[in-house]
């Protein structure tokens, strides 16, 4: 038989689109990490060298932190790089590994869906209470809304991951064989 | 059903979920909210989810974690590990076991920037191992010293594990970072002493390398001065009260970025890689933090920490007996899960026992991190050992564990010293 090995075949269009979509979500989160670091770095320098403060540097820092974390959770959930206990999984056969992964991802999907539902209430509440930033009196709900969209993305991506684990497990398997967080 | 029964079922289900590879944070959140809903009501429980999640991710204080992660990512990506090793090697490489000394010193330097044990072990598996093998060091020693040196990452500031401990127990993260410095230096000294002893017991076991000239030494220092100055600036600023821990992290990240770009060590791809790396790790840590806080409400309504405190103090073992019991539990748990999961899962339950017994919370942070770090190198799991094995393919687990053994003994002695003399950990924070 002289076919091209599966690993060398170009990925189908749907997969390319999915990969680009996930990369974009990760890049959005990564961009916000950079912005938060720049916010803190510049505001500290201005404070010590010019006795000047960026208005709302503190509020911007914490609100952008919220955005980066929820968008980061979306990518982390899809990539399967959460902190897990792999003791049973690592000694299971490939079939049981897959079953464990499907179960774990379904639980993850349930938890993140509930979280997204309750976070929407929080966004609505912040809007209704007209919570403002300290210096510029900007409404904070748009920041919360952007963070919430990150959580919505997490639900979508976990659903995609669950689907792939069931019908196309080879796409997910072996993506991140070793990962740790600490 | 009584609250005790609910708590017991909750813990059993939590462990079952975690063993079935449900992410630790998600499992804690699910059990915490379900238990709270059963005991208090569904409405209040659901409200907790949204409020706690949003409050956690928008807490400025918690920004310390992504910021120090970003600093570590920038510095690691700009290739400092190789330079640290090379610089240390020029000074001690000619001694018997010199490459082992250089590995410990460079691991300490790298750990002080990266804040991660596993990252340190992974990095030096590629940097120091080939060099040690080239000079004829046995596989067991080479991998053992890297595994042990890697554990310095959780002790020397900025340590991600210590920061998370500070968040959970509401202790001053700056003081915790300071408390890790002297025990970290003690660890490095004791690892070096261990290598000296190995060299004395088995003179042919550890060869020595060529002596470097002073020109080479000065060049080595020139290569590493920038990250070392950055570390001193960040930690000095924290110690001197110039920055809050989050600001120190932001200054470290910004400083590492500027230095990396000015020295031509950070390309656009490197910057992107560093940002992504910090984001992924921060998201994973925050997921666990949210879960831990939700689980904390369940612990409060079931009064589990208070009941455990009453049980342990009623055993009549005395405060050090109870402490020993807790540490044995951590060492056993170290066979099952990694350091961060262990800290987040157990500290909310154990911490009230420690304060009730009159131990200093900052000191306990150092002790507990040291104990869980021991779990990174002791069999049968030892995450650092797995990491090294994944990088160094031609070595068996048995060989690495054999090489790690002398350092495990050293770590246990160090733990005893720190319990006997808490001042080693507490002196620096007391000067802040």
Test the B interface: residue of A61, A75, A85, A133 with most B CBs within 10 Å:
A85
Tokens standing for B348?
């909310």
Lowest mean pLDDT among A55-59, B333-337, B376-380: B333-337
Given A85, A110, A120, which is nearest B336 (Cβ)? A85
Task: List for chain A the helix, strand, coil content (%; round to 5).
Answer: 75, 0, 25
Cα gap B327→B81, rounded to integer Å: 33
Q: Cβ A147–B54 below 8 Å, yes or no?
A: yes
What pLDDT does residue A178 have? 42
Interface A:B, Cβ pairs < 8 A: 210
- The whole-chain average pLDDT of chain A stands at 85
Q: For residue B25, which phi and psi values (nearest 5 degrees)?
A: -65, -40
Test the A interface: residue of B19, B21, B75, B278 with most A CBs within 10 Å:
B21
Residue from B161, B30, B187, B202 nearest B108 by CA: B187
What pLDDT does residue A44 have? 93
Cα gap A71→B150, rounded to integer Å: 30
C-alpha dihedral, B82 to B85 to B91 to B95, nearest 10°: -130
Given B60, B66, B287, which is nearest A58 (Cβ)? B60
Residues 6+ apart with CB under 8 A from B17: A107, B27, B30, B31
Cα gap A123→A121, rounded to integer Å: 5
What pLDDT does residue A179 have? 46
User: pLDDT per residue over A29-48, tens digit each?
Assistant: 999 999 999 999 999 999 98
Please tell me the number of Cα atoms within 13 Å of A172 on its side-chain side. Answer: 23
Min distance B20 CA to chain A CA atoms (Å):
6
User: pLDDT per residue over B61-118, tens digit each?
Assistant: 889 889 988 998 898 888 888 888 888 888 998 888 888 999 998 888 887 777 677 7
Q: What is the 8-class DSSP label of residue A6?
A: G
What pLDDT does residue A12 have? 65
Min distance A2 CA to chain B CA atoms (Å):
32
Is B300 an 8 Å CB contact of chain A?
A: no
Q: What is the 8-class DSSP label of residue A139?
A: B
Given B50, B63, B341, which is nearest A36 (Cβ)? B63
Q: What is the 8-class DSSP label of residue B153?
A: G
Min distance A167 CA to chain B CA atoms (Å):
20
Cα gap B262→B95, rounded to integer Å: 35
What pLDDT does residue B111 have? 79
- For chain B positions 179-218, those within 8 Å of chain A (CB to CB) are none
Is B393 an 8 Å CB contact of chain A?
A: no
What pLDDT does residue A10 have? 58
Q: Is the pLDDT of residue B337 over 80?
A: no
**Rounded percentage of chain B residues whose pLDDT exceeds 70:** 98
Q: Which residues are bridge partners to B51 per DSSP?
A: none
Model-level ipTM above the cut of 0.90: no
**Do the Cβ atoms of A3 and A42 come closer than 8 Å?**
no
Mean pLDDT (whole number) for B164-168:
90
Enumerate the residues of chain A whose CB falls inside 8 A of the CB of residue B75.
Answer: none
Q: Is the pLDDT of residue A145 over 70?
A: yes
**Rounded percentage of chain A residues whose pLDDT exceeds 90:** 54
User: pLDDT per residue over A82-104, tens digit each?
Assistant: 888 887 888 889 889 999 999 99
Enumerate the residues of chain A whose CB falls inside 8 A of the CB of residue B67.
Answer: 36-37, 40
Is B385 an 8 Å CB contact of chain A?
A: no
What pLDDT does residue B374 have? 85
For B14, nearest residue in chain A (alpha carbons): A85
Min distance A130 CA to chain B CA atoms (Å):
16
From residue A33, give the alpha-carbon distance in Å to each of B51, B283, B344: 22, 11, 24
For B15, nearest residue in chain A (alpha carbons): A85
Residue from B357, B375, B207, B50 nearest A144 by CA: B50
- For chain B positions 137-176, those within 8 Å of chain A (CB to CB) are 154, 160-161
Q: Cβ A36–B284 below 8 Å, yes or no?
A: no
pLDDT band of residue A181 (cuts 50, 70, 90) is very low
From residue A177, give the alpha-carbon distance in Å to each of A149, B77, B341: 29, 21, 19
- The whole-chain average pLDDT of chain B stands at 88
pLDDT band of residue A138 (cuts 50, 70, 90) is very high
Enumerate the residues of chain A whose CB falls inside 8 A of the CB of residue B47.
Answer: 118, 121
Residue from B65, B25, B60 nearest B278 by CA: B65
State the pTM of this model.
0.85
Given A62, A104, A180, which is nearest B63 (Cβ)? A62
What pLDDT does residue B227 have? 81
User: pLDDT per residue over A104-116, tens digit each?
Assistant: 999 999 999 999 9
**Do the Cβ atoms of B179 and B424 come closer than 8 Å?**
no
Q: Cβ B22–A107 below 8 Å, yes or no?
A: yes
Enumerate the residues of chain A whose CB falls inside 8 A of the CB of residue B259.
Answer: none
The alpha carbon of residue B79 and the mean position of all alpha carbons in its chain are separated, in whole angstroms, by 21
* Backbone region of residue B233 per phi and psi (left: phi > 0; alpha: psi in -120 to 50; beta: other values): alpha
Cα gap A42→B221, rounded to integer Å: 29
For B34, nearest residue in chain A (alpha carbons): A111
Given B19, B53, B281, which is nearest A88 (Cβ)? B19
pLDDT band of residue B381 (cuts 50, 70, 90) is low
Residues 6+ apart with CB under 8 A from B341: A83, A85, B18, B24, B288
Cα gap B96→B375, rounded to integer Å: 29
Count Cβ atoms below 10 Å from residue A99 Cβ, excluding itself: 14
Query: Does residue B135 or residue B54 have the better pLDDT?
Result: B54
Residues 6+ apart with CB under 8 A from B179: B162, B362, B363, B365, B366, B425, B426, B428, B429
For every residue of A15-58, DSSP letters joined together read: HHHHHHHHHHHHHHHHHHHHHHHHHHHHHHHHHHHH----TTHH
Test the B interface: residue of A32, A34, A78, A180 with most B CBs within 10 Å:
A180
A130 CB burial (10 A radius; 0-12, 13-18, 19+) = exposed
Q: Cβ A84–B23 below 8 Å, yes or no?
A: yes
Mean pLDDT (whole number) for B376-394:
77
Is B234 an 8 Å CB contact of chain A?
A: no
Enumerate the residues of chain A whose CB falls inside 8 A of the CB of residue B17.
Answer: 107
Mean pLDDT (whole number) for A137-158:
94
Q: Cβ A115–B50 below 8 Å, yes or no?
A: yes
Given A103, A107, A181, which is nearest B284 (Cβ)? A181
Q: Cβ A100–B249 below 8 Å, yes or no?
A: no
**Do the Cβ atoms of B28 and B295 come closer than 8 Å?**
yes
Q: Which residues are bridge partners to A139 per DSSP?
A: A132
Enumerate the residues of chain A whose CB falls inside 8 A of the CB of residue B340.
Answer: 83, 181-182
Test the A interface: residue of B73, B284, B393 with most A CBs within 10 Å:
B284
pLDDT band of residue A180 (cuts 50, 70, 90) is very low
pLDDT band of residue A13 (cuts 50, 70, 90) is low
Mean pLDDT (whole number) for A153-160:
93
User: pLDDT per residue over B12-45, tens digit each?
Assistant: 999 999 999 999 899 999 999 999 999 999 999 9
Query: Does residue B51 or residue B223 have the better pLDDT?
Result: B51
For B289, nearest residue in chain A (alpha carbons): A83
What pLDDT does residue A87 have? 77
Enumerate the residues of chain B whose CB falls inside 8 A of the CB of residue A34.
Answer: 70, 275
Query: Does residue B343 or residue B254 have the better pLDDT?
Result: B254
Q: For residue A139, which phi and psi values (nearest 5 degrees)?
A: -65, 140
Q: Is the pLDDT of residue B165 over 60?
A: yes
Q: Which residues are bridge partners to A132 per DSSP?
A: A139
Q: Cβ A180–B338 below 8 Å, yes or no?
A: yes
Token match 């490197």: residue?
B270
Min distance B391 CA to chain A CA atoms (Å):
11
End-to-end CA distance of chain A: 47
Mean pLDDT (whole number) for B364-369:
94
């Amino acid at each position: 038989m002289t076919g091209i090995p599966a690993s060398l075949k170009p990925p189908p269009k749907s997969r390319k689109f999915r990969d680009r979509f996930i990369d974009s979500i990760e890049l959005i989160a990564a961009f916000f990490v950079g912005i938060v670091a720049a916010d803190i770095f510049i505001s500290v320098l201005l404070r010590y060298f010019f006795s000047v403060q960026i208005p709302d540097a503190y509020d911007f820092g914490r609100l952008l932190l919220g955005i980066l974390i929820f968008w980061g959770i979306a990518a982390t959930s899809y990539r399967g790089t959460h902190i897990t206990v792999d003791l049973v999984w690592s000694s299971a056969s490939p079939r049981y590994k897959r079953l464990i992964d499907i179960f774990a991802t379904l639980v993850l999907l349930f938890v993140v869906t509930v979280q997204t539902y309750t976070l929407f209430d929080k966004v609505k509440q912040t809007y209704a209470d007209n919570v403002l930033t300290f210096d510029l009196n900007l409404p904070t709900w748009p920041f919360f809304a952007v963070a919430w969209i990150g959580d919505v993305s997490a639900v979508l991506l976990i659903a995609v991951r669950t689907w792939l684990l069931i019908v196309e497990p080879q796409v997910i398997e072996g993506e991140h064989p070793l990962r740790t967080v600490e | 059903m009584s609250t005790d029964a609910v708590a017991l079922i909750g813990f059993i289900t939590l462990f079952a979920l975690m063993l079935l590879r449900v992410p630790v944070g998600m499992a804690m959140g699910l059990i915490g909210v379900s238990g709270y809903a059963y005991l208090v009501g569904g409405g209040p429980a659901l409200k907790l989810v949204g409020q706690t999640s949003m409050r956690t991710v928008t807490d400025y204080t918690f920004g310390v974690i992504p910021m120090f992660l970003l600093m570590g990512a920038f510095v690691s990506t700009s290739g400092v590990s190789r330079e640290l090793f090379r610089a240390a090697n020029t000074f001690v490489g000619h001694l018997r076991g010199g490459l082992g000394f250089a590995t410990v010193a460079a691991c300490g330097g790298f750990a002080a920037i990266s804040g991660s044990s596993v990252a340190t072990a992974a990095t030096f598996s590629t940097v120091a191992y080939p060099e040690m093998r080239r000079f004829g060091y046995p596989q067991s020693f080479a991998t053992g010293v890297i595994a042990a040196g890697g554990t310095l990452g959780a002790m020397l500031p900025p340590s991600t594990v210590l920061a998370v401990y500070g968040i959970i127990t509401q202790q001053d993260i700056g003081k915790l970072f300071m408390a890790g410095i002297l025990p970290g230096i003690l660890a490095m000294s004791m690892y070096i002493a261990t290598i000296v002893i190995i060299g004395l017991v088995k003179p042919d076991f550890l060869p020595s390398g060529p002596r470097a000239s002073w020109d080479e030494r000065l060049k080595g220092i020139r290569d590493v001065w920038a990250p070392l100055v950055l570390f001193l600036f960040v930690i000095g600023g924290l110690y001197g009260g110039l920055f809050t821990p989050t600001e120190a992290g932001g200054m470290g990240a910004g400083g590492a970025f500027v230095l990396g770009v000015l020295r031509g060590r950070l390309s656009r791809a490197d910057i992107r890689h560093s940002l992504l790396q910090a984001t992924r790790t921060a998201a994973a840590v925050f997921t666990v933090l949210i879960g831990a806080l939700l689980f904390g409400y369940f612990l409060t309504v079931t009064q589990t920490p208070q009941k455990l405190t009453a049980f342990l103090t009623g055993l009549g073992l005395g405060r050090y007996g109870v402490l020993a019991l807790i540490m044995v539990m951590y060492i056993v748990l170290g066979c099952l899960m990694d350091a961060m999961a262990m800290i987040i899962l157990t500290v909310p339950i154990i911490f009230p026992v420690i304060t009730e017994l009159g131990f200093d919370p900052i000191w306990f942070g150092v002790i507990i991190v040291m104990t869980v770090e021991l779990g990174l190198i002791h069999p049968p799991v030892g995450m650092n050992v797995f990491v090294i094995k994944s990088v160094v393919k031609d070595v068996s687990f048995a060989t690495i564990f054999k090489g790690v053994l002398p350092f495990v003994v050293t770590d246990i002695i160090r733990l005893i010293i720190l319990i006997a003399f808490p001042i080693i950990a507490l002196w620096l924070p007391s000067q802040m």
